[in-house]
Copies of this chain bind each other. A is one copy, B any other.
Amino acid sequence: MLASTFSGLGALLLAGLAAAQTPESACRSSNGSQPFDGMYREAARPQIHFSPSSGFMNDPNGMFIANGTHHLYYQYNPNSTVAGNQHWGHATSPDGYEWTNQEIALAPEREGQGIFSGSAVIDVNNTSGFFDGTVAAETRIVAIYTLNTPTEQTQDIAYSRDGGYTFTKYEGNPVISINSTQFRDPKVFWDAQAQLWVMAVAHTQSWEIGFYTSPDLKTWEERSRFSSGLRGYQYECPDLIEVPVQGGPHDGQRAKVLVVSINPGAPLGGSVTQYFIGDLNSGSDGFEDFTFRTNDTAVRFTSFGKDEYAAQSFYNSGDEGAIYQAWLGNWQYAQAVPTANATSGWRSEQSLPRRLRLEWVQQNPQTWAYVLAQEPLSFGSLAGTDLAPSNVSGNTTVALNGTGAFDVRALFSLPANATVEPRANLRIRTQGEGFLDIGADWAGDGATVFVDRRKAGTEWADTNHFFTDRMSASLMPVPRVANDSSSDSLIEVRVVIDRIVSEAYYNNGTSVAAVLTFWDNDEVPSFVDVTTSSSQLKLESLSVVPIASGWKC
């Protein structure tokens, strides 16, 4: 197991990090119970990914953006480093990276209750009647969540008149009860055309996503159920997300993507998220019928990594397109990972906030298709000065000098007449033995992108039967000149490195994988080695931008 005290080289590095920024004891802890003492400086703590100060976190919940503030709620057990006693924790951020822990937003009333996953909306028009003229439109927040008890899962609501900081549970709860213990994770959005609220909710063990509508968030009518694709044990955490379309026959339009989480039963084991492209309102008579129909019968996954689940979009993400975050966890080992041994005792983190779009992407020489592309929001003023040498060619090592995270982007090109099938690799390594390889292998007219954490810390990994080491996916390199197969083929490998979290984004986020790496001896990533296996494969550009920690203390 990871040592709970700092030792060796890791301790030296950590001391350096801790000295660099002074903890501010005034900062709020996730459970509101104790002063915050700089625990976000621990070696394993991600610096721009949200993690709770202590306790156990899972699904993101109730996310919305109002008045420029990102509100993240999350499944939270404040008293333990494993799941149970579920609350909604709460944190806010101006940019998705600089987080402030807030008081717990929703707590169970009694032993045996749990406030399970759900969503939140801004009821600007006061459809619910919970608000009056004293509450500004953008602070009229209604949370829709599952109340879990031993005998039933019901959909309940709570309202906040202060913009999401404190909530009052609706006295008329539950708003939906179907006498089922397997009915949860409501995600609600506003259908402007129908002038109705729409809820996607999981009938978990029949692998169905139910759709309900409501005029007021209180009274709900069941409209349809949808089932398709990979099944596993159960479905959870649906979200129907409107995204902009880039390229292809629907360029410039908007499309709907239904995201469904599955656990257990992922092909990689445990937890996974699949998505379907389609529409909710495409009845043959042209009227809205609130039945989800897919554009095709394809099954796709949001990520080829093993550590993403329960993705949810922010309500009111803005005109540029939806933003979502996922829990960076897999139920096969999320309650066993060694971060619980840190001084502060915590487990799990959320992904970076990612802007979504559907992009028209070549799948093989013959066929193109739409895929869900994801890219992290701008790091804004947190981004520092590029650490990479200005002229790169061939193999390059860059020291990761900084105490926050690092945004590494490497663009590789291979001539069309190349005589090799080369590898491009980014090796992220500590000052010890640990390394993580993230790269791409050109092969024939395609490529395979990969993440290999086999050596990125072995002490804990050796003890767990489910912490799969290697993940990969098929990806077509992009010709430098569109539709010109005689031009160079390009692959960009981007990795955001944040201590125990690495998020890989290939070719503008058209392929994504987030992986956790539990480095031995409290080590932290210290170098990135960028290599090509052949001189025919050129490293065209490289940037290694340090991102300052989003934690103030």
Which residues of chain A have a CB within 8 Å of any CB of chain B? 182, 204-207, 227-234, 264-270, 272, 296-301, 304, 332, 363-367, 369, 437, 439, 441, 446, 448, 450, 452, 454-455, 462, 465-474
Query: Are B471 and A452 touching (Cβ within 8 A)?
Result: no
A207 partner residues in chain B, CB cutoff 8 A: 298, 367
Min CB distance, A233 to chain B, in Å? 4
Query: Are A437 and B450 touching (Cβ within 8 A)?
Result: no
A369 partner residues in chain B, CB cutoff 8 A: 231
A467 and B264 alpha carbons, distance in the complex (Å): 23
Sample of 4 further A-B pairs with CB below 8 A, known A264-B474, A455-B462: A182-B366, A267-B267, A268-B268, A469-B470
A206 partner residues in chain B, CB cutoff 8 A: 366-367
Query: Are A232 and B474 touching (Cβ within 8 A)?
Result: yes
A233 and B365 alpha carbons, distance in the complex (Å): 9
A522 and B158 alpha carbons, distance in the complex (Å): 64
Min CB distance, A474 to chain B, in Å? 4
A232 partner residues in chain B, CB cutoff 8 A: 474
Query: Are B470 and A234 touching (Cβ within 8 A)?
Result: no
Query: Are B298 and A231 touching (Cβ within 8 A)?
Result: yes
Whether A365 contacts B205 in the complex (CB less than 8 A), given A264-B446, A264-B474, comes out as: yes
Which residue of chain B is the closest to A270 with respect to CB atoms? B472
Q: Which 7 pairs of residues, A with B, have the shortest CB-CB distance? A: A267-B267, A205-B366, A269-B472, A228-B297, A265-B474, A264-B474, A205-B364
A299 partner residues in chain B, CB cutoff 8 A: 229-231, 299
Query: Are B363 and A233 touching (Cβ within 8 A)?
Result: yes
Q: Binding site of A, secondary structure by majority: helix, strand, loop or mixed?
A: loop
A465 and B20 alpha carbons, distance in the complex (Å): 37
Min CB distance, A263 to chain B, in Å? 9
Min CB distance, A35 to chain B, in Å? 37
A–B pairs, 23, beta carbons within 8 Å: A205-B364, A205-B365, A205-B366, A207-B298, A227-B296, A227-B297, A229-B298, A231-B298, A231-B363, A233-B363, A233-B474, A264-B446, A264-B448, A267-B267, A267-B301, A268-B268, A269-B448, A269-B450, A269-B471, A297-B297, A437-B465, A465-B470, A465-B472
Name the contact of A454 in the complex, choosing from B234, B462, B473 (C-beta under 8 A).
B462
Whether A472 contacts B332 in the complex (CB less than 8 A), given A267-B266, A269-B450, A299-B299, comes out as: yes
Query: Are B367 and A470 touching (Cβ within 8 A)?
Result: no
Min CB distance, A276 to chain B, in Å? 10
A473 partner residues in chain B, CB cutoff 8 A: 265, 269
A452 and B465 alpha carbons, distance in the complex (Å): 6
A267 partner residues in chain B, CB cutoff 8 A: 266-268, 272, 301, 304
A206 and B367 alpha carbons, distance in the complex (Å): 6
A384 and B300 alpha carbons, distance in the complex (Å): 47
A470 partner residues in chain B, CB cutoff 8 A: 269, 465-469
A298 and B206 alpha carbons, distance in the complex (Å): 12
Query: Are A468 and B465 touching (Cβ within 8 A)?
Result: no
Whether A364 contacts B466 in the complex (CB less than 8 A), given A269-B473, A448-B332, A450-B269, comes out as: no
A462 and B462 alpha carbons, distance in the complex (Å): 14
A364 partner residues in chain B, CB cutoff 8 A: 204-205, 233-234
A269 partner residues in chain B, CB cutoff 8 A: 304, 448, 450, 470-473
Whether A472 contacts B462 in the complex (CB less than 8 A), given A206-B367, A267-B266, A297-B227, comes out as: no
Which residue of chain B is the closest to A425 with respect to CB atoms? B465
A296 and B226 alpha carbons, distance in the complex (Å): 12
A227 partner residues in chain B, CB cutoff 8 A: 296-297
A454 and B453 alpha carbons, distance in the complex (Å): 12
A272 partner residues in chain B, CB cutoff 8 A: 267
Min CB distance, A268 to chain B, in Å? 6
A437 and B367 alpha carbons, distance in the complex (Å): 41
Min CB distance, A398 to chain B, in Å? 22
Query: Are A466 and B462 touching (Cβ within 8 A)?
Result: no
A267 and B205 alpha carbons, distance in the complex (Å): 23
A470 and B267 alpha carbons, distance in the complex (Å): 11
Min CB distance, A498 to chain B, in Å? 22
A205 and B301 alpha carbons, distance in the complex (Å): 19
A474 and B269 alpha carbons, distance in the complex (Å): 8
A267 and B262 alpha carbons, distance in the complex (Å): 14
A228 partner residues in chain B, CB cutoff 8 A: 297-298
A455 and B469 alpha carbons, distance in the complex (Å): 12
A446 partner residues in chain B, CB cutoff 8 A: 233, 264
A301 and B265 alpha carbons, distance in the complex (Å): 11
Which residue of chain B is the closest to A464 with respect to CB atoms? B470
A414 and B369 alpha carbons, distance in the complex (Å): 48
A452 partner residues in chain B, CB cutoff 8 A: 465
A267 and B233 alpha carbons, distance in the complex (Å): 17
A91 and B468 alpha carbons, distance in the complex (Å): 37
Which residue of chain B is the closest to A226 with respect to CB atoms? B297
Q: Which of A233, A297, A468 has the most CB of B within 10 A?
A: A233
